Chain A
Amino acid sequence: MTLNLKQRRNKASTVLVATGEINSETSGSMLQALLPLVREGRPLRIDLTAVTYVSSAGLRTLLVVYREAQHAGVSVTLYGVSEEVRFVMSATGFLDFFEAGEAAAAEAKVQAGTVR
């Protein structure tokens, strides 16, 4: 199964919409698509609504992207994660990183709001 990737630029962020499976065959192309976006420095959202399966290599790729983004001070958010993918990510600990990121982002947003 292949992976389709589409970019969409919103006012505040860049969205990468993935369709298919993220596995050892497809994760390389996803990494190639994502790393330049991370370097652009805009907040990045990865839409996994149409992703049916993320393999071990796929989860590692997502975490590498997260680490790269953290290194560059860019926020990365996953959304549209299916129940099954979410369970796998939760059981293997990968979700903790992204949830921590989401929580921190939410908190930053709240704080920014109060300042205003």
Chain B
Amino acid sequence: MTEAQSELVLRVDAYPTHEVGGYRVRAGKPFPFGANVVPGGVSFSVFSDQATSMSLVIYKRGEPEPMAELEFPEEFRTGSVFAMTVFGLDHENIEYGYRADGPFDPASGHRFDARQVLSDPYARLIAGRDVWGVEPDRSRGYQYRSRVCLQDFDWGDDTPLGIRAEDLVVYETHVRGFTRHPSSGVTAPGTFAGLREKIPYLKELGVNCVELLPVFEFDECDNPRSNPETGEKLYDYWGYNTVSFFAPKAGYAATGRYGMQGDEFRTLIKDLHAAGIEVILDVVFNHTAEGNEQGPTISFKGLDNATYYMLTPEGYYFNFSGTGNTVNCNHPVVRNYVLDCLRHWVADYHIDGFRFDLAAILGRSADGTPLPNPPLLELLAYDPVLRHTKLIAEAWDAGGLYEVGNFPAYGRWAEWNGKYRDTVRSFLKGDPGITGELATRIAGSPDLYSSRGTSASVNFLTAHDGFTLADLVSYNDKHNEANGEGNNDGGNDNASWNCGAEGPTDDPGINALRLRQMKNALAILFTSQGIPMLLAGDEVARTQQGNNNTYCQDNELSWFDWDQVDDNAELLRFTRQMIAFRKRHRELRSTSHPTGALRDSLGLPDISWHGERAWQPDWSPESRLLAVARCGTGDDDVVYVAMNSHWESHDLELPALPGGRSWHLFADTGAEAPYDIRTPGAEQELDNAGKYLIGPRSVVILVGRTNDPETTGTP
């Protein structure tokens, strides 16, 4: 018997028992939640603890008014779950929602409003924002419409890749921004399909993980502001105000207008996996698009406000997220919801990992108190489905909780290492007295992660939030006027330096220094222990013209300009070679923090620190020079990295190498291209074995090895 024939298998629950509103129905199954296609019909299941009645509202696809409204019979309720199977529905051509009645008593936390039709929190597909940026008809009562879909994608042999955390090179990007620019040359700019066409670029760059800014359905049109200089409409471009947690954003799919965003996104993931690239999603469980008392009622607010949100004793919304509300994520119902959601993305979309926005909130109790042992974080750490999924915390929130190094990890959680970013930026711009902390950060921050290993640290210098790398070396101050908030939005503590002029300049000296500073940053990032994360476009000097908060800028300020691939080919080449170098040298990816222990085979410690004189690092308050040598993990090479943020050059005395080895030059950011960097394995042997002159504000990378490059390096 083939699969198609097996549909003939009889089920006694495939027959209706009741008639409601002209539709044949029977009691549904409380689990799983959401809308699920069952023999002969669709089973709908929704939770509300305090609703006095619940109706299923069904629309013919795209119609303003419902075609049916079916109240759940009392006997269809199990506990606080309303469940009903409706027969004879053409699931492809309907949209649905719920109407929940119950008390409106904000002081007790209840905000039921039977006038509203509510999105299903478990909807796997949402209609209503099908094509990016199309201004919606807000006179419609029901904006974000739940849809029914099948979960039958043909994955072939695909599975999450399971790349070891320490081997990751993460590339943070935005689905739309990556290919929306006219220069991208893809068939469907700004979409999952467009990103799929750029997989060869990613592969050539050498990254093995893309981290996507939020892809759960959000409303890009919910930003009321406009650019005060041009009058252009501003958007919610980044997408951190989630409307629906189980649904991929339709406007990110070229096929969103046909409701095929799920398959388009899965096809992207499948092809990324085939290219050896993992997918991490930036997920936002700290708040929702429903805002505070003034915000819209979309779903949770009308279904069970008191369960889903952290409320003050007076019934107002706590605002630890800085956006109006805070999800009550350690409530038993809500943590199961978060778990169900993540399982869905892993099981049905083969997602490899998650980066949790403002994750410190996920450790707070219902009244906002930080918990010593947050049940949600523990649940996610031990869940069978998520067991090998990467979990990365942005370990702070807008309520002042800063947990970098202290995030409850259960041996599983990694963190965005904000201290790495701050320290390396400060060193790069030439602040004195940073060498001590710099040493700690590039060695994988053992002060923060001694029991968790280096891969608990996601090292980054730039991310979507803040300056791009090119802007970090071109601007002292943020320039956010285009955001319409009088330049008051965005962080002020950027630790940036413009190299002598604010913004674009024709001064060749300044431009050369900026390029060198970018190379310095990349050289340090990719030789640091921990997981490196690169912001998309930094490899080609993408600029946002000094705007450090482009959350609302759906335009060339945010988009990846593909002409820069040619225009800034020198920096791109440098980045590629640095990534290749990291892959070749396991000592840069060691999971354990170095201890200084002697490696017997080499007679050198696993890590050693140096200054102008070998073995004599300068930790003094005026020092701006530090060199580090690593060896002994995986191969017999010694990797030496000298970092000089001083404006003068220095003579470096190089440490002596054990027998048969000599120093070879891999990179010197002070040298003109193409001599700034070489292909790993084809490094140039130094003429003067014991010395090297490091230029002003430069990074030099040497490899101590034998003269047969084929025997060195461990991929």
A interface list, Cβ under 8 A from B: 23-25, 31, 35, 55-57, 59-60, 63-64, 67-68, 71, 87-88, 90-94, 96-97
Contact = CB atoms under 8 A, between A and B. Distances in A.
A57 B92 contact: yes
B255 interface: yes
Interface string B484-502: 0000000000000000000
Interface string B142-173: 00000001101110000000000000000000
A96 to B, nearest CB: 8
B4 A88 contact: no
Contact of B255 (A57, A68, A88): A88
14 contacts: A24-B91, A24-B93, A56-B258, A57-B92, A60-B150, A60-B152, A68-B4, A91-B267, A92-B260, A93-B153, A93-B154, A93-B264, A93-B266, A93-B270
- 8 closest A-B pairs by beta carbon, nearest first, are A93-B267, A24-B92, A92-B263, A91-B193, A91-B264, A57-B92, A92-B260, A91-B255
B267 A92 contact: yes
Interface in B247-269: 253-255, 258-260, 263-264, 266-267
A97 B267 contact: no
B300 interface: no
Interface size range on B against A = 20 to 34
B3 interface: yes
Given A56-B92, A56-B263, A35 B4 contact: yes
A87 B187 contact: yes
B234 to A, nearest CB: 29
A56 B264 contact: no
A60 B259 CA distance: 14
A91 B260 contact: yes
Nearest to B90: A24
Nearest to B192: A91
B254 A87 contact: yes
B255 A92 contact: yes
A25 B90 CA distance: 8
B245 to A, nearest CB: 21
Contacts of A93: 153-154, 263-264, 266-267, 270
Given A24-B93, A91-B193, 9 more contacts: A31-B4, A55-B92, A57-B92, A64-B4, A91-B267, A92-B264, A93-B154, A93-B270, A94-B263
Nearest to A35: B4
A10 to B, nearest CB: 25
Contact of A63 (B154, B196, B254): B154
A66 B350 CA distance: 24
Given A87-B254, A88-B260, A67 B149 contact: no
A50 B154 CA distance: 27
Interface string B232-255: 000000000000000000000111
Contacts of B191: 91
A58 to B, nearest CB: 9
A23 to B, nearest CB: 7
A68 B4 CA distance: 8
A105 B322 CA distance: 59
B92 A23 contact: yes
Contacts of A31: 4
Contacts of B92: 23-24, 55-57
B168 to A, nearest CB: 25
Contacts of A71: 2
A55 to B, nearest CB: 6
Contacts of B270: 93
Contacts of A24: 90-93
Contacts of A96: 267
Given A56-B149, A91-B188, A97 B255 contact: no
A54 B437 CA distance: 60
Contacts of A56: 92, 149-150, 258-260, 263
Nearest to B253: A91
Contacts of B188: 87, 91
A91 B92 CA distance: 19
Contacts of B3: 64, 67-68
Contacts of A64: 3-4
B182 to A, nearest CB: 19
A102 B521 CA distance: 49
Interface in B124-151: 149-150
A57 B150 CA distance: 9
In this complex, the member of B150, B187, B253, B260 whose beta carbon has the largest number of chain A beta carbons within 10 angstroms is B260
Nearest to A39: B2
Contacts of A88: 255, 258, 260
A59 B258 CA distance: 12
Given A91-B253, A92-B260, A97 B4 contact: no
A67 B258 CA distance: 24
Interface string B169-210: 000000000000000000110011100100000000000000
Contacts of A91: 188, 191-193, 196, 253-255, 260, 264, 267
Contacts of A23: 92-93
Nearest to B270: A93
A82 to B, nearest CB: 14
A94 B192 CA distance: 15
A55 B263 CA distance: 12
Contacts of A67: 3
Contacts of B149: 56
Interface in B630-669: none
A12 to B, nearest CB: 25
A35 B3 CA distance: 12
